[in-house]
Chain A
Amino acid sequence: MRLFRLCVATAPLLLAACGSKSGGAASLAYYETYDPRSLDPALSTDVPTGEMVSYVFDGLTAFDVNGKLLPGLADRWTIERSGQRYVFHLRPGVRFHNSRPFKAEDVRATFLRVLDPASTGGRAWPLYPIAGAQAYAARQATDVRGIQVLGDTAVAFDLTEPLAIFPKFLAMPVVSIVPSPAPADLAAHPIGTGPWRFVAWQHDDYLLFAKNPDYWGGAPLADTLSVRIIPEPLTQAAELEAGHLSAVEVPFGEGARWRAQRPAWLQGKPALRVMYVALNNQRGPLTDLRVRQAINHAVNVPEILRTVWDGRGVVARGAIPPLLPGADTARAGFGFDPAKARQLLAAAGYPDGFAVQLWRSSSNIVLGRVAQAVQADLEKVGIRVELVERDASSQRQAARSGKADMALLDWWADYPDADNFLFPLFHSGNFGPGGNYAFYRDPITDSLILRARRTADDGARTALYRQIDERVYRAAPWLYLWFPVDLWAKHPKVEGWEFPVISNGQRWTGVRRLP
């Protein structure tokens, strides 16, 4: 029925795909938990939007499923003036889905559009390293002086200071290249250069894409890709079991059953994500290093990970996920040691503990259980935790404004680099909405982070990341929990699909469904 309806909705485009016997076999089906905000790249601040944008559009660079940086619309780039100037050479012969050729001017117009406050995207920061970008975003300039269009085939960026990871910023969905001038209805009828052409979007129901046979990177193997909007995890799993979806994340609580019944369907993969409790370093007893260390000793993290989190993770001894260069998996952790926690509390002047609030979002039931487990462990060393349960928006506002003593949070990578787990989370310039919810401030950490950003040499930068992570870890600005390992199930008839560590790293071009 569904296929029938899709055929009716998209008859002119997909007659061949649905009419022939290959219809079912040639189509892929994925899902999102909620409707994308838009299909306009400039508005891609949420995961569903970012993923849909990555199907229809290309960036100058791209990520693969393992987070490796690949060339995109730029087939190569050169770094000049010791990392302060980048020249991107554009792939020749690329056309938008409406057959218009892609040119360097499109890059400039796209970036100006993202920076323009009128586009109300809210995520222009990947372009802020470009000289003059912030002034343009603040409407203090009519152009961005750091962007230079070099004929039709190259574009150069002058940065305010050297930034080795700048090419990774350009793989983010928000800076995907749109045709210039941008069509007025781009958000509803996107036209890009990407592997999939947009076909239809029924809000809160499904999106449909058809393969771009002329894709510069090779046409997708499947004819169509549909994306269902399914909020309930158990329903997502049922759709996979009924054969209607290509892959789903295995719901919490279902892990044991799936491991027993369908082990061959499962894929476990470490995510670029860290779970933690931000301890507000500027509030009450938490200002004391010994108290924060005591909290890290008092909570039995491996036990909570195993029992509450279905064992899907690796205990965090630092903020950099193990997949990324700079992570130190051999670091000596605080370790579960309630006696030591009590000693540290006594030394800090709290032999009888103290009362504190832990904020957590009510939108995730598993996180609620984590919060309860943390509460129970802290209670045993005398720290009386009051759980404050609010919806995600209220919790976020409290944490960002510094009103929460402790907040149970997680952090996903925007780009696969250790910098993404250090600069936003621990640089004092990023207090609150910038990502530093612990309000951790250390001038040496600040300067090391900035130095790492300016360091062009990968080896030297990785060493700096490791040093920063170690330094921050010893200051215990968080209660460090774990790096989740995501558990996904792939339908056995689907071939070539792998779960991406970064959400726009899986573009479904090499995936097919066996008949």
Chain B
Amino acid sequence: MIRTLGRRLLLTVPTLFGVLVVAFLLLNVVPGDPVLEMVGERADSATIARLRAELHLDDPLPAQFGHYVWGVVRGDLGRSYITRRPIARDLAERFPKTVQLALAAMTFAAVTGITLGVLAAVRPGGAFDRIALLLSYLGVSFPVYWVGLLLILLFAVTLRWLPPSGSGGPTFLVLPAATLGMRSVAFLARMTRGAMQDVLSSDFIRTARAKGLPELAVVGKHAFRNALIPVITVLGLDVGNYLTGSLLTETIFAWPGVGRYVLSAIAKRDLPAIQGSILFLSVVFVVVNLLTDLVYAQADPRIAYD
């Protein structure tokens, strides 16, 4: 197990280096100039030249890249061109907020989605099944932007139950988590329903029922556990996506997560901030995928990695 883990971790090094190279090259090809973004709408060419020199933007590309990689190896992601703040600190400030939102959204999605799916699967074609199906279609089809704003209008402006935006106590999490998790609810509900139906029609369930087990134990214990594997796959993929920032949700709800940080860095052509964010988010993604694989092995004894 530990050997597997070690091997997988070693394999991430070339992946991450590749990410760095591609990000660096792309950013140097894209039009736009961080210095022009810094000076605002008006500057003279002497000022611009001095700033470029100050930020080492005129150094040859291989030298810039070497300098950057050397910093990364020492654990230094550099400073933002625009704000002059260390990027590692900027990310460390925002990442907990992203994790908070991601966990809340995942919890909401898992609880709601799986419950809907299980209940729908118990009586296929029944009234509840149809409602659940309709809800999941709506969840997949409605754009996040629209749902988020409608939720704000209803729960924050009209009913005044919840704050419209921002971060703080648990009440601030409800609307963004519901908005962000909505799509996953829909996917999870349909995924769970399908998996449950497969399992419920299998032989061992018939045996369990024939033994006279109560229906609750049949569905809740035997069928549900076996239907969980595909559900974990979907959840695992979502965790990776959620942890790397959820730009639209963060923007609508003014949530101070990494997604908005990356977006504003891109808009300002803040090269070190973009590179640092890409590297950091790649690490997060790789780690999450690794953990998902490990969870598989725990959930299903048939899966082994050696």
| Interface-facing stretch out of B124-132, B158-166, B288-296 | B158-166
B193 within 8 A of A: no
Q: Is the beta-carbon distance between A235 and B254 smaller than 8 angstroms?
A: yes
Please indicate the chain A residues that have their CB under 8 angstroms from the CB of B82 in the complex: 37
A239 within 8 A of B: yes
In chain B, positions 218-261 with a C-beta closer than 8 Å to chain A are 251-254, 256-257, 260-261
A118 within 8 A of B: yes
Annotate B13-38 by CB proximity to A: 1 below 8 A, 0 otherwise. 00000000000000000111101111
In chain B, positions 145-172 with a C-beta closer than 8 Å to chain A are 149, 152-153, 156-157, 160, 163-169, 171-172
B64 within 8 A of A: no
Please indicate the chain A residues that have their CB under 8 angstroms from the CB of B41 in the complex: 411-412, 435
Please indicate the chain B residues that have their CB under 8 angstroms from the CB of A357 in the complex: none
Q: Given A244-B163, A396-B36, does the pair A434, B43 have CB atoms closer than 8 Å?
A: yes
Give the number of residues in A that approach B within 8 Å (Cβ atoms): 59
Q: Is the beta-carbon distance between B169 and A1 smaller than 8 angstroms?
A: yes
Please indicate the chain B residues that have their CB under 8 angstroms from the CB of A45 in the complex: 38-40
Distance between Cα atoms of A433 and B45 in the complex (Å): 7
B183 within 8 A of A: no
In chain A, positions 138-186 with a C-beta closer than 8 Å to chain B are 138
B138 within 8 A of A: no
Chain A, interface SS category = mixed
Please indicate the chain B residues that have their CB under 8 angstroms from the CB of A206 in the complex: 166
> B35: which of A35, A122, A230, A363 is its contact (CB, 8 Å)?
A122
Give the number of residues in B that approach A within 8 Å (Cβ atoms): 58
> B165: which of A123, A235, A390 is its contact (CB, 8 Å)?
A235
Q: Is the beta-carbon distance between A393 and B254 smaller than 8 angstroms?
A: no
B44 within 8 A of A: yes
Q: Given A122-B38, A231-B254, A393-B36, does the pair A434, B47 have CB atoms closer than 8 Å?
A: no
In the complex, how many angstroms separate the beta carbon of B169 from the nearest chain A beta carbon? 4
Annotate B40-74 by CB proximity to A: 1 below 8 A, 0 otherwise. 11111111101101110000000000000000000
Most buried by B among A137, A393, A400: A393
In the complex, how many angstroms separate the beta carbon of B55 from the nearest chain A beta carbon? 7
Annotate A231-271 by CB proximity to B: 1 below 8 A, 0 otherwise. 11011001101101000000000000000000000000000
Interface pairs A-B: 9 shortest CB-CB: A393-B32, A204-B256, A122-B39, A1-B169, A45-B40, A205-B256, A394-B31, A230-B254, A238-B164
Q: What is the interface of chain A, defined by CB distance below 8 A to chain B? A: 1-2, 4-5, 34-35, 37-38, 43, 45-46, 117-118, 120, 122-125, 134, 137-138, 187-188, 202-206, 228-232, 234-235, 238-239, 241-242, 244, 363, 390-394, 396-398, 400, 411-412, 414, 424, 430, 432-435
